[in-house]
Structure 1
Amino acid sequence: MKIFKKSALSLCVQASIIASVTGFSTSALAAEETTRAKVVGVEVIEVTARKRTENVKDVPISVSALTSKKLEVLGSSGMDVRSLSAKVPSLLIESSFGRTFPRFYIRGLGNTDFDLLASQPVSLIYDDVVLENALTKGMPMFDLERVEVLRGPQGTLFGRNTTAGIIKVQSKKPTQDFDATVSASYGSYNSTDLRLAVGGGLTDTLSARVAFLQQDRDDWIDNKAPGFEQDDQLGGYGETAGRIQLLWEPSDNFSALFNYHFRDADADARVFRANIIKPGTNDLVDDFDREVVYHDAASRNNQTIEMNGSSLKLDYDFGSHTITSVTGYESAEMFSVGDIDGGYGCGITAIPGCDPANMGPGFIPFTSETGAKMPDHSQITQELRLSSNDLGKFDYQVGFFYFNEDLTINNLSFDTLGGGNQNGIAVQNMETTAWAVFASMDFELSDKLNLTAGIRYSDDERVWDGTLVQSPFGAPGFSENATVDDSQVSGDVSVNYRMTDETNLYARVAKGYRAPSIQGRSLLFSASHTTADSELVTSIETGFKSTMLENTARIDGSVFYYVVDDQQLTAVGGTGNVASLLNADKAVGYGFELDSEIWATEDLVFGASLSYNHTELQDDTISVAGCGGGCTITDPINSDGQVIIDGNSLPQSPEWIGNLSARWTKEIGNGELYIYTDWSYRSEVSFFLYESKEFMGDAITEGGLRVGYEWFAGDAEYEVAVFSRNILDEEKLTGAIDFNNLTGYTNEPRFFGVEFKANFF
């Protein structure tokens, strides 16, 4: 795999040239050294959870916000969006693809489906544009203002496929003030992370911001399969991403923001490992070595991604109202192939140098090398919104939303024992068209009490066709087609009571809607497609948001209960490398969330969050296929040999998620020494709809440590730091393959690094 170290350097040079050629205004720079006062106390965080800029304390929704400073710390080891997992209450993120195709879970609701047509109940909104396909949700996070996590159904303002909640990502926007940032880090496995951003005024009415990211890591996993030995064959990546934004403000009441962004990645796909689980337990085998695999197809375990997108946001303020238009276009191409069985097959056929009687952990009963290609993908979105501007005791928003996605997927199979020649292909085409109208109203009932009510009508249609072109087993080809459609009404009602100037109480009832789904990957293995009807979620929650002790402490809390009707589920694996959709009659969930920040002194601040989520499937008729890889199933089996899953928790749904952080600072000279540490915890999870001893992921505790020095010189701020992620080197399963031996994959290894950063104002 190629690692683009040289391109990282050229990227910084190019960005610097762009900054100088375009002539960013530096008139705001002062010649003398700037004195910056130290800020002590809880920061006022503004969010756009209701498509208005508001103090997070005034929003009657369970929401957490991660600011740019914390996001930079979490991503300093080259991590992707998965670095947010367990950093706020009730949020889990995992992936069986590696650095792309993240799967989000909020309050236990998510989708374990790994097909590129998969529908998720957590929506990701990046710079006001919804990213529907799970592949596009892997867009790197860089030069960000904040990330907001909205928990619970968001059926009024955001609509479809938000039954669990929303991840809302906001990048830094252009302003007339000049600023520039450059950071570079180096760490374990020859990892490099280079970031550059520069922004400012080009003219009195035109501002720009340019941001780039380059991340690289060398291969670090050795392949020791006899006949396929190679050191440092897997585990590396090279990734480039960029964003250019132009903000035109010809008058006080009109603005136009243009955004172009791209991603180009060349990486190894997820590394699967055969026979790494002790039978009858969920422990890793005694001789497990994270830096070793036994693969017969490791040389082809690769992944390439290209993404491009643009958006145009127009705002016109005519006094009492503002009209907003957001137009977005996204496109993506992807190819990914993996050694899914995680081993090598010298027990199946003769391989030079391999003794079938002594195959070690790589033994597999049959090979499985599959992949997916997305040669064509496009998404168009349009939102038009009319918002009132402080009319008094009544404000409202009304709007229209349109969505269209068209994509082609090639599901592929390869003959591992025949040198990796392609021996199977199924082609899927799907077009999704959706539209909605919505309205949200805010009433000030008194000086202390506010009421919000919203409603949305959504209409969805998915048109799909699929063809088995070539079967890996020689079966005849065939074609199928399907259409699923539905229309639903969703919405919410909430009240917000200002008990004191420091404490707000709220209650909320919300209904969410997840559109019907189609899954056709099974065509590759001569099985028909499956569909799932719409799922509906009704949620009730109440909570409080409070600052105290003269603004040196903040604590937010919520309790919730929800019911999912016709819960969409994906039965993955079983006895084959397939996935199928089904609906459960009902699922219920309940729990609580706490999020806090405490300034013990002006030099020491603590953060703590905790959530409890109980989920339960309730359908006494539902059953799925059990594992084909020798696991110990703990659920009852019916007369057809299927596993009864009634009463189980939802997959990848931990009961407990917690996070602790602390930052200590000490002024030294013209700067500040700091020590920062953060620790996240998630309790055990089941990887599949059925429960078994082996495929129950153990609890994980991961810690980070960062020690650095920040100082000012003139109109610049500098920082040097050393850091570590997963500092205790926890080795735990985070997912598994259940159709071929006890195959799984693990969390990221311990990482050490050093970083330099400079900010210019």
Structure 2
Amino acid sequence: MNSSKLAALLLAGAATLAIIPAAAQTQIAGGPAATDQADDSNTVVVTAQRRSENTLAVPVAVSVIRPEQLHDYDAAGGDTLLSLSGKVPSLYVETSTGRIFPRFYIRGLGNIDFYLGASQPVEVIQDDVVEEHVVLKSNPVFDVAEVEVLKGPQGSLFGRNTTAGIVKFDTAQPSETWAGQGSASYGRFNSVNLDAGVGGPLTKDGSISFRLSGLFQHRDNWISNVYTGPSDDGTVGGHNKLNGFDERDLRLQVLAKPSDKLSVRVSGHYRDFAGFASIFYRGSILPGTNAVPASFDRTVVVYDEAQNNPQAYKTHGASLKASYDFGGATLTSITAWEHASGYSRGDTDGGAAANFGGTPANYCAVGCGESQGRLRYLDQWTQELRLASPDTGRFKWQLGGIYFDQRDNTEFDQRSFFLTSNVLGTAPNPNNFVLLHDHNFSYAAFGQASYQLTDKLTATGGVRVTRDVKTTNLLLHPNFVNLAVPVTAPASSYACGTAQYCRLSDTKPSFDGSLLYQVSSEASVYARVARGFRGPTIQGRSAVFATAYTTADSETNTSYEAGVKTSFWDGRIHFNTAGFYYVVDHIQLNGNDANGNGVLFNANKGKGYGAEAELDARPIANFHIGAGLSLLHTEIDDTSVYAQVGAAGGVLSERVLNPTVRIGNNYFAQINHNPFPNAPDYNINVNARYDLPLSDKSKLFLAGDINVQGHTNFVLYRSVEYTANGNYELGAKLGYAFGRYEAAVFARNITNNKNLVDVIDTSNYRAGIYNDPRVFGLMLSGSFR
């Protein structure tokens, strides 16, 4: 987006913010036109401190996404998690591995590692259960009550791997009275999206109740593979062969309240997903520019391998949450188990090697590539005990402990594993894979307390001590002989005892402290300092290339934040703003080696600072607007760290803006002072809705939303090509509402904008990943209670 367009957008936003207070004041003072809207929906309640509290009393930057917003974003069958990207200030979500691997970033801090065992500094929590593994993080959200985005380290109450923050999902719960909601849509590409939940009492007195929830999504294949040449693994192209999907999810919750003091909730869920890995378009990024070519066509690929990128996963799990109120304190126990298995296969060079030079005898000299990650099984067990004081009184406290245990067998298969011929110059090798056993266990004790020093001033502090242990063991290959892995990596990257086995551990404290001053019933100010901890990480996938594991030591993030929260005109206007500065010591980074394999390493420090502002307003009857802005600067601070740069045959594949060093045919760029990957320097989001009443119960409405993303670097080094600037998407909905039910037409990505959202920076592929094209359709939604 050029500067004139951005200036116009910012001016329009400023004008909107200027008009809203005046309009609200006029309407509220104007008598008959000022319909009373002061109800429960005008109070924003969050659980950022494990209690239900008015957000004005919470000294943490928290953004809330409501269920009706999610329904709009997902109407076209969009991924329920990826669609959150940019919808609140400082939240970014992307993937280079398809729906089973969303990567989250808050305030610029995240992890671009595509390894199945990768850790992330943003934790995902669904109904009080931590979803640690990247596949578990991909479990869709549906029949949601509320989504909270907690920004900055959350190390005292929520634990390790929250150095950037938390995305917290609370689903609709069982109720003593009958209630339900549903949203159904149908659109282009035969896209279907059904999200529904219903529940009520199972006994006459309501002491036992349930909630049954489901999600079904479908889209037909809409990308054609036009390759017609030879294939060493039998891949056959054709019309509309890729990028459809089927998503089937079910959840059942049963809540028992045998007395006023005891409640027990049992929950079980199941997921069955079949679709495709991310689509890479080789050569779609032109040298010397980051502009998407006008001739680029998202509906066509030329794949000679990988059987058109299939992906399929199944997950299921169960949890038991029990709470007992002793009067002076409440004891809560949360026991949970999660299981997952599946695979993802992709043509990693993003195109047919035959189209990029060479002869049939050496096509692969200019680039062939496919790989598969298979999670043979994953089991995660968690147990948390928490004792908390009542929510009333000047002094509040809570303390507890948690145990976490995760085990998996993960397989990585490389190209020759799949081959049945060697027309393109590579002989089949059924042993070109590795099988790894990973084990991660952690335990922690924590406590937090807050004290109301005066009627207006409250101090809060918490501390947590965590022990985190990770091991990776190379198992046996199909011939039941140990697959030796030579120690070829530099000693600084190799922290494991043998070539087959690696064990890393650490014990770290984390903490937070804050002061909140209640200026009035409509405004509060706060200041917060917090430290979070991300445990050490092992990159075992390197073994498939007969190279040693790479590792990264623990990182800690110390964050300083201050903000203002307001809710005025009877809750019609909510406006929050915050500024922050953080330093990550031993920040964990991930680059690529010559094989396109992820390589872990630590830099000395990473720094970030910025500001956020968020508005939610109902200034006049029948009009609602939400807007958010984040401004961000991030920076790697280490003069000694380098990242490998995409090159082939000793020739750089892009225009690198950092100093580089050549070693053999490989190039390494100095990344000191570079921004973090996937950390937009600004983000703007606006959503609005206007209702035109037709009667007491019916109305017409028009709703829309826009997200604009600033300059974003996709890799660790600076280059002209691997960036985006001014990506934007528009959505709209026009419909008719009768009571609690709505019928509408919708469109997502109205302008059919082609946004570059990720890249593959190895070799000379210059492969990009792009957003979905325009989808339009019909939508029905409603609720009852």
TM-score of the superposed pair, with normalisation by structure 2: 0.87
Q: Distance in 1 between matches of 2:98 and 2:84?
A: 15
**CA shift in 2, pair 1:218/1:279, >3 Å:** same
Q: Hey, what does 1:242 align to over in structure 2? A: 250
Q: 1:462 aligns with which of 440, 447, 470?
A: 470
The share of aligned pairs that are identical, in percent, is: 38
Q: After TM superposition, give the deviation of residue 422 of structure 1 in Å.
A: 6.5
Q: Distance in 1 between matches of 2:212 and 2:365?
A: 49
Q: After TM superposition, give the deviation of residue 599 of structure 1 in Å.
A: 2.4
Q: Hey, what does 2:163 align to over in structure 1? A: 163
Q: After TM superposition, give the deviation of residue 390 of structure 1 in Å.
A: 4.5
Give the RMSD, CA atoms, in angstroms.
2.0
**2:111 is the alignment partner of 1:92:** no
**2:275 is the alignment partner of 1:267:** yes
**CA shift in 2, pair 1:182/1:555, >3 Å:** closer
Is the 8 Å Cα contact of residues 702 and 730 (structure 1) preserved in structure 2? yes
**2:767 is the alignment partner of 1:747:** no
Q: Hey, what does 1:618 align to over in structure 2? A: 637
**2:67 is the alignment partner of 1:68:** yes
Return the letter of the residue paired with 2:111: N
Q: Hey, what does 2:20 align to over in structure 1? A: none
Q: Hey, what does 1:651 align to over in structure 2? A: 677
Q: After TM superposition, give the deviation of residue 549 of structure 1 in Å.
A: 3.5
Is the 8 Å Cα contact of residues 574 and 628 (structure 1) preserved in structure 2? no
Q: Distance in 2 between matches of 1:468 and 1:132?
A: 26
What secondary structure sits across from 1:523 in the alignment?
helix
What secondary structure sits across from 1:625 in the alignment?
strand
Q: 1:628 aligns with which of 642, 647, 658?
A: 647
Q: After TM superposition, give the deviation of residue 103 of structure 1 in Å.
A: 0.2
Q: 1:206 aligns with which of 197, 205, 208?
A: 208
Is the 8 Å Cα contact of residues 468 and 477 (structure 1) preserved in structure 2? no
**CA shift in 2, pair 1:390/1:308, >3 Å:** closer
Q: Deviations over 1:108-148 (max 9, x none)?
A: 00000000110100000010000000111111111000000
Q: After TM superposition, give the deviation of residue 285 of structure 1 in Å.
A: 3.0
Q: Hey, what does 1:609 align to over in structure 2? A: 628
**CA shift in 2, pair 1:96/1:320, >3 Å:** same
Is the 8 Å Cα contact of residues 277 and 743 (structure 1) preserved in structure 2? yes
* Paired residues for 1:78-477 under 5 Å: 78-80=77-79, 81-203=81-203, 204=205, 205-227=207-229, 228-297=236-305, 299-346=307-354, 347=357, 350=360, 365-390=366-391, 392-415=393-416, 418=420, 423=430, 424-466=432-474, 469=477
Is the 8 Å Cα contact of residues 586 and 618 (structure 1) preserved in structure 2? yes
What secondary structure sits across from 1:73 in the alignment?
helix
Q: Distance in 2 between matches of 1:84 and 1:735?
A: 16
* Paired residues for 1:514-663 under 5 Å: 514-571=534-591, 573-628=592-647, 630-638=653-661, 640=663, 641-663=667-689
User: Which range is displaced more, 729-738 or 621-630?
Assistant: 621-630
Q: Hey, what does 2:700 align to over in structure 1? A: 673
Q: Distance in 2 between matches of 1:192 and 1:512?
A: 40
**CA shift in 2, pair 1:541/1:758, >3 Å:** closer
Q: Deviations over 1:218-255 (max 9, x none)?
A: 00011112335411011100110010000000111110
Q: Hey, what does 1:31 align to over in structure 2? A: none
Q: Distance in 2 between matches of 1:667 and 1:320?
A: 50
What secondary structure sits across from 2:603 in the alignment?
strand
Q: After TM superposition, give the deviation of residue 477 of structure 1 in Å.
A: 5.9
Q: Distance in 2 between matches of 1:510 and 1:497?
A: 18
Q: After TM superposition, give the deviation of residue 550 of structure 1 in Å.
A: 4.2
Q: Hey, what does 2:524 align to over in structure 1? A: 504
Q: Distance in 2 between matches of 1:371 and 1:122?
A: 25
**CA shift in 2, pair 1:40/1:69, >3 Å:** farther
Return the letter of the residue paired with 1:326: I
Q: Deviations over 1:483-503 (max 9, x none)?
A: 100001111000110011110
**CA shift in 2, pair 1:145/1:390, >3 Å:** closer
Q: Deviations over 1:657-711 (max 9, x none)?
A: 1101111001113312111101011112111111111111233111110112111
**CA shift in 2, pair 1:290/1:364, >3 Å:** farther
Q: Which runs of 5+ in 2 are unaligned?
A: 1-34, 230-235, 423-427, 487-498
Is the 8 Å Cα contact of residues 698 and 732 (structure 1) preserved in structure 2? no
Q: Distance in 2 between matches of 1:409 and 1:117?
A: 8
What secondary structure sits across from 1:407 in the alignment?
strand
Q: Hey, what does 2:15 align to over in structure 1? A: none
Q: Deviations over 1:459-488 (max 9, x none)?
A: 0111211258489xxx97665211100001
Q: Distance in 2 between matches of 1:427 and 1:300?
A: 24
| Count of residue pairs the alignment pairs up | 708
Return the letter of the residue paired with 1:553: I
Q: Distance in 1 between matches of 2:392 and 2:619?
A: 41
Q: Distance in 2 between matches of 1:88 and 1:364?
A: 45
Q: Distance in 2 between matches of 1:148 and 1:175?
A: 21
Q: Hey, what does 1:57 align to over in structure 2? A: 56
**CA shift in 2, pair 1:422/1:674, >3 Å:** farther
Q: Distance in 2 between matches of 1:459 and 1:133?
A: 18
User: Which range is displaced more, 689-698 or 441-450?
Assistant: 689-698
Q: Distance in 2 between matches of 1:577 and 1:644?
A: 19
What secondary structure sits across from 2:604 in the alignment?
strand
What secondary structure sits across from 1:250 in the alignment?
coil
What secondary structure sits across from 2:587 in the alignment?
strand
Is the 8 Å Cα contact of residues 223 and 298 (structure 1) preserved in structure 2? no
Return the letter of the residue paired with 1:562: Y
Q: Distance in 2 between matches of 1:506 and 1:759?
A: 37
Q: After TM superposition, give the deviation of residue 575 of structure 1 in Å.
A: 2.7
**CA shift in 2, pair 1:518/1:477, >3 Å:** closer
Return the letter of the residue paired with 2:699: E
Q: Distance in 1 between matches of 2:262 and 2:501?
A: 47
**CA shift in 2, pair 1:300/1:507, >3 Å:** same
Q: Distance in 1 between matches of 2:596 and 2:549?
A: 14
Q: After TM superposition, give the deviation of residue 434 of structure 1 in Å.
A: 0.4
TM-score of the superposed pair, with normalisation by structure 1: 0.90
Is the 8 Å Cα contact of residues 40 and 602 (structure 1) preserved in structure 2? no
Is the 8 Å Cα contact of residues 91 and 104 (structure 2) preserved in structure 1? yes
What secondary structure sits across from 1:272 in the alignment?
coil
Return the letter of the residue paired with 1:515: G
Q: Hey, what does 1:688 align to over in structure 2? A: 715
Q: Hey, what does 2:5 align to over in structure 1? A: none
Q: Which runs of 5+ in 1 are unaligned?
A: 1-36, 357-362
Q: 2:738 aligns with which of 711, 722, 726?
A: 711
Q: Distance in 2 between matches of 1:232 and 1:477?
A: 41
Is the 8 Å Cα contact of residues 340 and 379 (structure 2) preserved in structure 1? yes
Is the 8 Å Cα contact of residues 676 and 707 (structure 1) preserved in structure 2? yes
Is the 8 Å Cα contact of residues 200 and 209 (structure 1) preserved in structure 2? yes
Is the 8 Å Cα contact of residues 522 and 528 (structure 1) preserved in structure 2? yes
Is the 8 Å Cα contact of residues 398 and 447 (structure 2) preserved in structure 1? yes
Q: Distance in 2 between matches of 1:40 and 1:47?
A: 18
Q: Deviations over 1:270-321 (max 9, x none)?
A: 1111100111111223421011111112634100100001111001011111
Q: After TM superposition, give the deviation of residue 265 of structure 1 in Å.
A: 0.4
